[in-house]
Amino acid sequence: MRTRSEEPTSLGSARADLIRLGLELELHLAAPRLAAPDLPELLAVQSSAVGQEAEADKRRQVFAGYQVNSELLSLAKEDAIFMHDLPAHHGEEVAEGILDSPQSVVFDQAENKMHLLKALLAEILGGLEIPLTAYR
């Protein structure tokens, strides 16, 4: 599998993770616009996350040039979709209006993630089953 990534040079974890998984990586370190052309999807990464509160200001500065906005989205394929693992920080990793744009699938993505996590939790708890005997 081949993937394309762009990320700040000071946060070069994507390369190591993808290589470890046996994936081929085309990396654009300081130019998000080089990664966007002809992409079928753009995926935003949170500039700050739970457990990284102490680094939040530094990460906001580092990721400032990596915001997914209408200009970047216009460089991707015409039918490209926008994905984001919510919650999103408007004005940081994603510009206002992008989450609600026709190209956004973030709420479908969040719903799919919810169902996946429910199934995973049910399996961890011993494969909970709901008898459907009354539904014959």
Give the tens place of pLDDT for each residue, 71-96: 888 888 888 888 888 888 888 888 99
**pLDDT tens column, 22-57:** 765 555 545 667 667 777 777 776 666 667 777 778
- pTM summary value: 0.64
CA distance 60 to 48: 7
DSSP bridge pairs for 68: 94
Which CATH class, in words, describes the domain spanning 2-129? alpha beta
CA atoms in the 13 A half-sphere facing the CB of 31? 8
